[in-house]
Amino acid sequence: MRRLSWRVTVPALGVCVAVGLLAALGTGGSAPAAVKRAAAVKPAANPKVTVLTVTAGKPSELAFKLSKTSMVPAGTVTFKVTNLGVAFHNFKVCTIPVPSAAGAKNVCIGKATAILKKGQSATLTLKLPVAGKYEFLCTVSGHAAAGMKGLIGVGVAVTSSEEKMAASAGSSSGTGGGTTTTTKSSGGGTGDVGCPPGVTVKSSGNADADGDELGTEPDDQDGCV
């Protein structure tokens, strides 16, 4: 009798285990709903990065050429900058949008590349998550005041007239926001390029992008400080 009882108990236990497994798997032995949901979840896609090319010193020495300046997607933007000019230049993007093209200044809070010599390149990446018009400029002394700046429309359009207005805002031509042009007393050059207000010409150095920097005349030992 003891041996018979053992033989009956084992099959009964096997049946219980089988029933439990079927109940866990659901009707028809399918996978649990939690497993299905986990399988349906896909990894989040990497956010798209917008890449723009920037040429400094072309089409003129104190100018930039960007591959796109209007309706740039909001988010992370990478600028690939190359200096094709003769003078030193860099590229800075302001991180606070301006209310209008006329509000473009010659200095701002933002992120910039290193100073680039002729033929050098650099990459600048920053996040611009808020739609608006952002100024870009060269921070070499006098260059932005001479018009080496412009606007990038993030999520908004920037017209050609706005680009021209931004480049001339605060310019050294006297039509902008108060900068002046200081003319050299000697050296045979074309004059200093727009020292900012309160800035004077120093007695040594040449960071104003006039003839001595462009290689068309001897060093005239001037510059803005």
What are the angstrom distances between the C-alpha of 35 and each of 14, 30, 38, 221? 26, 10, 5, 75
Q: What is the model's pLDDT at position 97?
A: 94
The tokens for 147 are 């018009």
Render each residue's pLDDT in the chain as its tens digit; 225 residues.
455 444 444 455 454 444 454 454 454 545 555 545 545 555 555 678 999 999 999 889 999 999 999 999 999 999 999 999 999 999 999 999 999 999 888 999 999 999 999 999 999 999 999 999 999 999 999 999 999 999 999 999 999 999 999 999 876 543 333 322 232 333 333 334 444 554 454 443 444 455 455 444 445 445 554
Residue 137, strand partner residues: 92, 149
CA distance linking residue 14 with residue 165, whole number of Å: 85
CA distance linking residue 116 with residue 96, whole number of Å: 24
Token look-up 């986990």 returns 38
CA distance linking residue 225 with residue 223, whole number of Å: 7
Q: What is the model's pLDDT at position 186?
A: 32
Q: Where are the alpha helices (DSSP H) in the chain?
A: 2-25, 33-40, 160-168, 211-214
The tokens for 30 are 């399918």
